[in-house]
Amino acid sequence: MTSPRPYHHGDLRTALLRQAEQTLAAHGVEGLSLRELARDVGVSHGAPRRHFADKRALLDALAEEGYDRLGRRLDAALAGATGDITARLVTFAQAYVTFAVEHRALIGLMHTPKDGWDERLRAANDRAFAAPVALLAEARERGDIDADTTGRVDMTVLAVLQGLTVLVATGTAGDRPLDTLVSDTVRTLVEGLRPR
């Protein structure tokens, strides 16, 4: 007879999130379950519910952590960025696309439409993109890009990067080096964003 699995774990929440990300990458959202995660981490099947009421709560927490990690990556990249708006946007774009390619399943979860998007996720998204949004605001103020204040330009930049990420992740972007592909795309985009 086997002994029951222990309930206690040093940092169960972190362990569950790490395992959930691995499972997400290997099997997608459908392959995730709290019971299976508990088994994989080595705790009783009820232990995860102390941290996540259900699968949706787990997925939201995983997405929130993804935004936090992305934000730290973008902040670090832009903190060291120099040059004109194009050079700094290239730095942002390379950091974003690299993160997205390294964490394809996680970025997919982060950008999956949700009914009644949790305010914590909206706040995490806003924090993650605070540095690039500030960069675009500064570029508008200096006249480097169109002075649009409706969010259209910011959305265009993100949409182009998302599209580029999909092309890179699926191998349909060709065999150009990632740095060159990102740089060329951003330069073309910025030329289109300049005031007329």
Q: What is the pLDDT of residue 72?
A: 97
Phi, psi (5° rounding) for residue 53?
Answer: -65, -35
Residue-wise pLDDT for 155-178, tens only, equals 888 899 889 988 888 888 888 898
pLDDT-derived band of residue 115, with 50, 70 and 90 as boundaries?
Answer: low
As a whole number of angstroms, the distance between CA 45 and CA 176 comes to: 47
DSSP class per residue in 105-122? HHHHHHTS--TT--HHHH
CA atoms within 13 A on the CB side of 170: 9
Q: What is the mean pLDDT of the chain?
A: 88
pLDDT-derived band of residue 194, with 50, 70 and 90 as boundaries?
Answer: confident
Stated pTM of the model: 0.86
pLDDT at 43 over 70: yes
> Which token pair is 48?
């995860």
Q: What is the pLDDT of residue 152?
A: 84
At residue 51's C-alpha, the angle toward residues 47 and 55, to 5°, is 90
Q: Average of pLDDT values for 45-53?
A: 91
pLDDT at 33 over 60: yes
pLDDT at 73 over 90: yes
